[in-house]
Amino acid sequence: MTHLTNPSPFLIDEIVLVDLLAVLLSVVTVSILWYVVKKIFPNDVTDLKFYLTFILVVVQFVMVVCFGMAIINYDAIAARSGWPPVLPLNGLLSATIVGGAVFYIGQSLWLWLDWRKLQMPR
Protein backbone atom coordinates (compact mmCIF):
# COMPACT_ATOMS: atom_id res chain seq x y z
CA MET A 1 0.00 0.00 0.00
CA THR A 2 1.45 3.33 -0.99
CA HIS A 3 1.03 6.43 1.13
CA LEU A 4 0.14 9.80 -0.31
CA THR A 5 2.68 12.50 0.39
CA ASN A 6 0.71 15.26 -1.34
CA PRO A 7 -3.00 14.52 -0.95
CA SER A 8 -5.44 16.20 -3.25
CA PRO A 9 -7.31 19.24 -1.90
CA PHE A 10 -10.60 17.44 -2.64
CA LEU A 11 -9.65 14.62 -0.27
CA ILE A 12 -8.79 17.02 2.57
CA ASP A 13 -12.04 18.93 1.95
CA GLU A 14 -14.00 15.68 2.09
CA ILE A 15 -12.44 14.67 5.41
CA VAL A 16 -12.99 18.12 6.94
CA LEU A 17 -16.59 18.12 5.71
CA VAL A 18 -17.28 14.71 7.25
CA ASP A 19 -15.79 15.78 10.60
CA LEU A 20 -17.70 19.08 10.66
CA LEU A 21 -20.93 17.31 9.78
CA ALA A 22 -20.38 14.86 12.66
CA VAL A 23 -19.85 17.73 15.11
CA LEU A 24 -22.82 19.67 13.75
CA LEU A 25 -25.08 16.61 13.77
CA SER A 26 -24.08 15.83 17.34
CA VAL A 27 -24.72 19.39 18.59
CA VAL A 28 -28.05 19.69 16.78
CA THR A 29 -29.27 16.28 17.95
CA VAL A 30 -28.38 16.96 21.60
CA SER A 31 -29.94 20.44 21.39
CA ILE A 32 -33.20 19.10 19.99
CA LEU A 33 -33.33 16.30 22.55
CA TRP A 34 -32.62 18.75 25.40
CA TYR A 35 -35.38 21.07 24.15
CA VAL A 36 -37.86 18.19 23.92
CA VAL A 37 -36.92 16.92 27.38
CA LYS A 38 -37.40 20.42 28.84
CA LYS A 39 -40.88 20.62 27.30
CA ILE A 40 -41.97 17.10 28.26
CA PHE A 41 -40.55 17.08 31.81
CA PRO A 42 -40.53 20.73 32.96
CA ASN A 43 -40.42 19.85 36.68
CA ASP A 44 -37.96 16.96 36.47
CA VAL A 45 -35.39 18.67 34.24
CA THR A 46 -34.19 20.90 37.12
CA ASP A 47 -33.12 17.86 39.15
CA LEU A 48 -29.36 17.17 39.25
CA LYS A 49 -29.88 13.43 38.80
CA PHE A 50 -31.92 14.05 35.66
CA TYR A 51 -29.22 16.32 34.22
CA LEU A 52 -26.43 13.86 35.04
CA THR A 53 -28.39 11.00 33.52
CA PHE A 54 -28.94 13.05 30.36
CA ILE A 55 -25.27 13.90 29.88
CA LEU A 56 -24.02 10.45 30.88
CA VAL A 57 -26.47 8.48 28.72
CA VAL A 58 -27.97 10.59 25.94
CA VAL A 59 -24.98 12.79 25.08
CA GLN A 60 -22.57 9.86 25.06
CA PHE A 61 -24.91 7.77 22.91
CA VAL A 62 -25.32 10.58 20.36
CA MET A 63 -21.55 11.14 20.30
CA VAL A 64 -20.79 7.46 19.79
CA VAL A 65 -23.20 7.28 16.87
CA CYS A 66 -22.16 10.55 15.17
CA PHE A 67 -18.41 10.32 15.72
CA GLY A 68 -18.42 6.57 15.13
CA MET A 69 -19.91 7.11 11.68
CA ALA A 70 -17.33 9.84 11.00
CA ILE A 71 -14.43 7.58 12.01
CA ILE A 72 -15.74 4.73 9.87
CA ASN A 73 -16.13 7.12 6.94
CA TYR A 74 -12.61 8.48 7.49
CA ASP A 75 -11.24 4.93 7.46
CA ALA A 76 -13.00 4.28 4.15
CA ILE A 77 -11.52 7.47 2.69
CA ALA A 78 -8.08 6.57 4.06
CA ALA A 79 -8.23 3.06 2.64
CA ARG A 80 -9.26 4.39 -0.76
CA SER A 81 -6.42 6.92 -0.73
CA GLY A 82 -3.66 4.75 0.66
CA TRP A 83 -3.43 6.47 4.05
CA PRO A 84 -2.97 4.51 7.26
CA PRO A 85 -6.31 3.68 8.91
CA VAL A 86 -7.39 5.14 12.24
CA LEU A 87 -9.12 2.00 13.46
CA PRO A 88 -8.31 0.20 15.68
CA LEU A 89 -7.52 3.02 18.07
CA ASN A 90 -4.06 2.86 19.62
CA GLY A 91 -4.12 3.61 23.34
CA LEU A 92 -6.23 5.92 25.44
CA LEU A 93 -4.41 9.08 24.35
CA SER A 94 -4.99 8.76 20.63
CA ALA A 95 -6.03 11.97 18.92
CA THR A 96 -9.51 10.58 18.24
CA ILE A 97 -10.23 9.82 21.90
CA VAL A 98 -8.75 13.10 23.16
CA GLY A 99 -10.80 15.05 20.61
CA GLY A 100 -13.96 13.20 21.59
CA ALA A 101 -13.30 13.84 25.28
CA VAL A 102 -12.75 17.56 24.69
CA PHE A 103 -15.96 17.77 22.66
CA TYR A 104 -17.89 15.82 25.33
CA ILE A 105 -16.68 18.16 28.09
CA GLY A 106 -17.62 21.20 26.00
CA GLN A 107 -21.06 19.81 25.20
CA SER A 108 -21.65 18.98 28.88
CA LEU A 109 -20.61 22.48 29.97
CA TRP A 110 -22.91 24.04 27.40
CA LEU A 111 -25.80 21.94 28.71
CA TRP A 112 -24.83 22.80 32.28
CA LEU A 113 -25.10 26.52 31.52
CA ASP A 114 -28.62 26.01 30.20
CA TRP A 115 -29.48 23.76 33.15
CA ARG A 116 -28.26 26.45 35.60
CA LYS A 117 -30.65 28.95 33.98
CA LEU A 118 -33.48 26.55 34.81
CA GLN A 119 -32.33 26.50 38.45
CA MET A 120 -32.78 30.25 38.91
CA PRO A 121 -36.13 31.22 40.47
CA ARG A 122 -38.48 33.10 38.20
The sign one gets for the Cα dihedral 110, 113, 117, 118 is: positive
d(CA 7, CA 95): 20
Q: Report whether pLDDT(110) > 90.
A: yes
d(CA 54, CA 60): 9
Output helix, strand, coil percentages for the chain, rounded to the nearest 5.
75, 0, 25
Q: Report whether pLDDT(1) > 60.
A: no
Residue-wise pLDDT for 39-97, tens only, equals 999 889 989 999 999 999 999 999 999 988 888 888 888 788 777 777 777 777 887 78
First-to-last CA distance in the chain?
A: 64
- pTM for the structure as a whole: 0.79
